[in-house]
Amino acid sequence: MIRVQVDGAQPWVSGEALGRLMSQLEAAQGRLWDPKEDEGKKGWLTWPEEDHDGLWQEVEETATEIRSRADVAVVVGIGGSYLGARAMTAMLRPGSEISGFWGFPVVFAGYQLSEGELLRLMDDLDDREPALIVVSKSGSTLEPGAAFHLLRTNLERRYGPQARERIYVVTDPERGALREYAVEKGYRRLPIPPDIGGRYSVLTPVGMLPAAVAGIDIRRVLTGARRGWEDCRRLDLWANPAILYAAARHLLYLQGWMVEALVTYEPRMADFSRWWQQLFGESQGKEGRGLFPAFFHYTTDLHSMGQFVQQGRRLLFETVLDVDGASAPQPAAGESPDPRAVIPDDVDAASAYLAGKRLDDLQEAAMAAVMEAHREGGVPQLRIEAKGPGEELFGELVFFFEAACALGGYLLGVDPYDQPGVEAYKRKLKARLLTGSGGGA
């Protein structure tokens, strides 16, 4: 269940202002759900209602194979080809990175160009039996391309021709250099539907293969996405959380607020914030328009950015993403909470008022106190309340944010599916490397 609350954003998001936006909202919702609009770019929209059972079986079989052949999976990708998988594994399997305590380890590479990081990863992998999952829709992105060939060569040194059985490729099923290479080498492949762009692709094998390898029940993620799909189809401002969220942030934008900071309180949501940031930043930041998407992890960032938020230049509003309130399993009625998370009685004088309280109690109080303080500091606040079992909630949240992002792009008058600004740096980088002005051994 996802609920958007706008009470903390008064007077900017008033009933009257929302009413004035209504015809634009109807037009945006109509355009989003009209199959003839943006044809070939909106595969993500119908994805949760379609039957892809054969594909999911293949994803699950591939995940089982990877888990039987390897003891760590390295996902190689950048942007939309890794952020969703990272968000999902971090939210649903916190601590499943290489040094984690439980779950099948899934780590990420190919999302930057640090030589030191890659060499450190290779050192870590020396004591393990790795598999590579290479994800690239275009099959020609520099960062994952470089990391893939370096990691592949390392695997070939170790396993010889059998290295082939440890390499899995997720890419466009019809085109691209990576696809051709994978066919030639005989790597097992999974498709990225051609009509689903990178940052909208987490619910395809892009996110679902790494998730299934990490032990996440992807069918439940799909159930949640389907629920999101049902809610976001409605043309009813108060029953469709995507319309309300898109409308509220658009009204704030129109009234001069420049930065939207997504606020989370649970460390396991940190990577989700990065996924959200890419989705909105790359989809809406163009033609001199768009809110700057930032994120804060409270209470950590209250001791750094909290000062600016409370008293600095008035340019940002907060969107608090409250995911199911608590971080730990809740005790059943009549049961006591886990005593290890209860502050003992024999504390110092300054902490006496905390005695007997759980960490979760402190977290809840912190959320309420921060909202009150920032409100008094003149910070508009939106609140997204998300409740339900983790896997389903992840799917529901993904669909909700994707729908809100596309709607917001239409309200702004930009194409939410292209990224011409990213292409500019890629062209310049390639030109430098081709002319030899980009270094070399």
Of 271, 282, 322, 391, which one interacts with ligand PA5 (CB under 6 A)?
282
Burial of 436 (0-12, 13-18, 19+ CB in 10 A): exposed
Q: Which of 241, 325, 179 is nearest to 29 (CA)?
A: 241
The answer to whether the peptide bond before residue 35 is cis (omega within 30 degrees of 0) is no
Question: Which residues partner with 381 through β-bridges?
Answer: 318
CA distance 120 to 126: 10
Q: In what order do the strands lie in the sheet with 130-136?
A: 106-109, 72-76, 130-136, 167-171, 188-191
419 contributes a contact to ligand PA5 by CB under 6 A: yes
Of 62, 136, 154, 381, which one interacts with ligand PA5 (CB under 6 A)?
136
- DSSP 8-class letter at 237: T
CB contact burial 360-375 (16+ within 10 A = b; e otherwise): bbebbeebeebbeebb
250 contributes a contact to ligand PA5 by CB under 6 A: no
408 contributes a contact to ligand PA5 by CB under 6 A: no
The least distance separating ligand PA5 from the CB of residue 8, rounded to whole angstroms, comes to 31
210 contributes a contact to ligand PA5 by CB under 6 A: no
Of 8, 105, 197, 408, which one interacts with ligand PA5 (CB under 6 A)?
197
Of 84, 105, 193, 198, which one interacts with ligand PA5 (CB under 6 A)?
198
Nearer to ligand PA5, 106 or 323 (CB): 106
Of 8, 79, 130, 395, which one interacts with ligand PA5 (CB under 6 A)?
79
The least distance separating ligand PA5 from the CB of residue 206, rounded to whole angstroms, comes to 8
141 contributes a contact to ligand PA5 by CB under 6 A: yes
Q: Read off the tokens for 23.
A: 């015809």
The least distance separating ligand PA5 from the CB of residue 210, rounded to whole angstroms, comes to 14
Q: Read off the tokens for 385.
A: 């309340």
Q: Which stretch binds ligand PA5 (CB under 6 A): 42-50, 122-130, 131-139, 432-440?
A: 131-139
CA distance 31 to 410: 8
Of 93, 152, 166, 199, which one interacts with ligand PA5 (CB under 6 A)?
199
138 contributes a contact to ligand PA5 by CB under 6 A: yes
Judged by CB under 6 A, the number of residues near ligand PA5 is 15
Q: Which of 373, 400, 413 is nearest to 253 (CA)?
A: 413
274 contributes a contact to ligand PA5 by CB under 6 A: no
Which of 266, 282, 318, 402 does the annotation list as catalytic?
A: 282
Contacts of 102 (CB under 8 A, 6+ apart): 93, 95, 96
User: Is residue 260 annotated as a catalytic residue, yes or no?
Assistant: no
By beta carbon distance, the residue nearest ligand PA5 is: 198
Kindly report the number of other CB atoms within 10 A of residue 46's CB atom.
12
**Length of the chain, please?**
441
Nearer to ligand PA5, 62 or 81 (CB): 81
Nearer to ligand PA5, 113 or 254 (CB): 113
CA distance 243 to 253: 15
| Site of interaction with ligand PA5 (CB under 6 A) | 78-81, 136-138, 141, 144, 197-199, 282, 419, 422
Residues marked active site are found at 282, 426
